[in-house]
Structure 1
Amino acid sequence: MHVVASATPKNPIFFMRVYVDNLAVYFTYTSAIDTQIFAAPGQHTIEVMAEDKQGYISTTILTVNVTSQAAQTTISGIQNMPGWQSCAADFAAGSGRDGQVCASGNPNPPTSTMTEGQSSPAMDGKSAKFTMSGPNGYSNELYFNAIAGGNNVSHFTYDLYFYIDNPSAPQALEFDLNQTFGGYRWVWGSECNFKGDTPPAWDIWDDEAGLWRQTNVPCNAFPANTWIHLIWQFERVGNQVHYISLQVGDQTYNVDTYYNNQTDWTLEEIDAAFQMDLQQPPISYNVWLDQVNLTAW
């Protein structure tokens, strides 16, 4: 179901949150919500809550009837959706998560930008361009977008194309999906680790341990100025994430690895993320993303 809400408090907004049947499923530090919430067919109680920075709270409660849910739902063109945010090693002041660890790496940030709606290079005339440069080596920039919420989906196909102009420049390129509800977070993090593994390999994130784990999937050098197709198959199984398979170009690799989720986590959402890492010494490069789609069921 599509949830749209806004808050106009007298004081600056602190956060807004969506509950479905008393379960927190979506969170934002902004004063507006316009998102997809996955809920099972049937009657539900929806509560939208807003709190300002003085602690005043307002809520709206509705009863809705979800008549049906598609067997699979695809959120398309994520690279051009509103709501993208970014952070370097730590979240910046004023972000709502001031000082918390974000992209990790060098605390001195890179120079990085994101520009949507690029006509070239593009597969459909609507790519997003990400730039990355020094002066600080081993610095990272994470871009993320909370595109949905809910606990009624547990299988995901993360399907996208990327294009890089200088494939020898990155330390790593990271592609992530996260699902959070009810105080738990499931993280499917993956990175093509060009410089950190010997030989270069794809790593996946073990959230409970807070570590990258090397897989047996090679991270082969990508050709410059060429669209590369990437497809991850994920699922949530109880309190674990399951990395099922990874397709790079026309090659599919069986990963079939489980890790435990993270407990005591709020910030409810389903978000897609992309991270760029600089090597030392830093070398500038650009990446374009296009046809970034998430299918959930």
Structure 2
Amino acid sequence: MMHLNLKGFSAIGILSIGIFSFTGCSVSNAKPPSTSTTTTQLIGSGSSTSVSTTPGSGSNGGAPVPPSGATVISNIQNQTGWQTCGGCGNDGGTGQGPVYNLTQGIASPALSGSSADFWIAGGPAYSGGYYFIEQPTVPNPLSYLRYEFDLYIPGQYASAPQALEFECQQNSEGYTYNYAWQADYDSKSWRVFNYTTKHWEPTSVGFQPFAPDTWHHIIAIYHASGTQVMHDSITVDGVTYPVNITHDALFTGNGLELTNAFQVDLDASSSPYHIYLDNMTVSLKD
């Protein structure tokens, strides 16, 4: 799970878990463009150093499509089983947590006809609301992982976030592989999370706060190599930024698990805001 390092804040409590009951998640196997895709309904609901290669300017070619044979989990914003945790993002967090929740089945704004509203209404400054959901487990470390969604922020909340964060996390063979990005409004940069040191680390990719009242498409591509976590690239509105950042996976001894998550962080004024997500998709291959 994600761990905050925003202005040193760590006093955050754990909220009770909420399970939401809205269906609509599907799983398919990715095929080459020339073939059809069979979709089936998913029932139910899962000391380190970093080495970074400085990317050049972004490419307008966009992110590559998932490889043949990849599993594609789509419409996750409508999936049953979202859980919330106000303290998951902070080690040793105690005290009052933020006020936040998730509202599904939003008809407008939406691209698919059914988006989800990830909102936060207040709480301690620099605290965050963490939303996560379990996906079917995969036994081996992932050779390909793609997390994507469309994001919409209404005009009145355009400058409200301190940061927006999203991640996938896999437990495999006793190791935890954490793949996380943060859009940091304070530093105007995209950052990645080092799960072993529990710190956000800068990249050379600048962050331009999302223009309000319009949809933005985000794609993050990752993979595992042995017991290493590889952040390959991030694509924002069709522009791809290769980063090729490597961290060590952390041996935790945990059993098989696969989750994806989104987090909304409060600024110094605890400004409330809403973020709408649509077409949330995880594509993977072990």
Identity of aligned residues (%): 32
Instruction: Give the structure 2 partner of residue 164 of structure 1.
Output: 153
Task: Specify the structure having the higher radius of gyration (Cα).
Answer: 1
Mapped to 2, the partners of 1:267 and 1:146 lie a distance apart of 13
Mapped to 2, the partners of 1:72 and 1:268 lie a distance apart of 19
Q: Deviation digits for residues 38-77 of structure 1, max 9, x if unmatched?
A: 9xxxxxxxxxxxxxxxxxxxxxxxxxxxxxxx71110000
Instruction: Give the structure 2 partner of residue 103 of structure 1.
Output: 89
Instruction: Give the structure 2 partner of residue 82 of structure 1.
Output: 80
Q: CA RMSD in A?
A: 2.0
User: 1:154 deviation in Å?
Assistant: 2.4
User: 1:225 deviation in Å?
Assistant: 1.6
1:251 aligns with 2:239: yes
Instruction: Give the structure 1 partner of residue 284 of structure 2.
Output: 296
Mapped to 2, the partners of 1:268 and 1:171 lie a distance apart of 32
Q: Deviation digits for residues 85-109 of structure 1, max 9, x if unmatched?
A: 0111x2xxxxxxxxxxx12278421
- Does the 8 Å contact 1:80/1:127 carry over to 2? yes
Mapped to 2, the partners of 1:267 and 1:175 lie a distance apart of 22
Mapped to 1, the partners of 2:164 and 2:129 lie a distance apart of 10
- Does the 8 Å contact 2:84/2:129 carry over to 1? yes
Instruction: Give the structure 1 partner of residue 135 of structure 2.
Output: 147
Mapped to 2, the partners of 1:290 and 1:106 lie a distance apart of 32
Instruction: Give the structure 2 partner of residue 30 of structure 1.
Output: none
User: 1:188 deviation in Å?
Assistant: 0.4
Within the candidate set 245, 249, 259, 1:271 is matched to 259
Instruction: Give the structure 2 partner of residue 99 of structure 1.
Output: none
Structure 2 residue runs without a partner (length 5+): 1-25, 30-67
1:208 aligns with 2:196: yes
User: 1:177 deviation in Å?
Assistant: 0.6
Matches within 5 A, 1:6-155: 71-88=69-86, 90=87, 102-104=88-90, 107-152=95-140, 153-155=142-144
Amino acid at match of 1:118: I
Instruction: Give the structure 1 partner of residue 249 of structure 2.
Output: 261
User: 1:182 deviation in Å?
Assistant: 2.6
SS where residue 79 of structure 1 aligns?
helix
Structure 1 residue runs without a partner (length 5+): 1-34, 39-69, 91-101
1:190 aligns with 2:188: no
User: 1:151 deviation in Å?
Assistant: 2.4
Larger displacement relative to structure 2 (102-111 or 140-149): 102-111
Question: 1 or 2 for the larger relative contact order (CA 8 Å, sep ≥6)?
Answer: 2
For normalisation by structure 2, the TM-score amounts to 0.72
SS where residue 283 of structure 1 aligns?
coil
- Does the 8 Å contact 1:106/1:138 carry over to 2? no
- Does the 8 Å contact 2:139/2:256 carry over to 1? no
Instruction: Give the structure 2 partner of residue 97 of structure 1.
Output: none
Q: Deviation digits for residues 219-244 of structure 1, max 9, x if unmatched?
A: 10111121110001100110011000
User: 1:150 deviation in Å?
Assistant: 1.3
Mapped to 1, the partners of 2:151 and 2:249 lie a distance apart of 28
- Does the 8 Å contact 1:86/1:141 carry over to 2? yes
1:181 aligns with 2:172: yes
User: 1:129 deviation in Å?
Assistant: 0.7
For normalisation by structure 1, the TM-score amounts to 0.69
Q: Deviation digits for residues 11-39 of structure 1, max 9, x if unmatched?
A: xxxxxxxxxxxxxxxxxxxxxxxx98x9x
Aligned residues: 217
User: 1:204 deviation in Å?
Assistant: 0.2
User: 1:250 deviation in Å?
Assistant: 2.1
Give the 3 Å change call, closer, same or farther, for CA 164–106 of structure 1 in structure 2: farther
Stretches of 4+ moved more than 4 A in 1? none
> Normalized per residue, which structure has more strand?
1
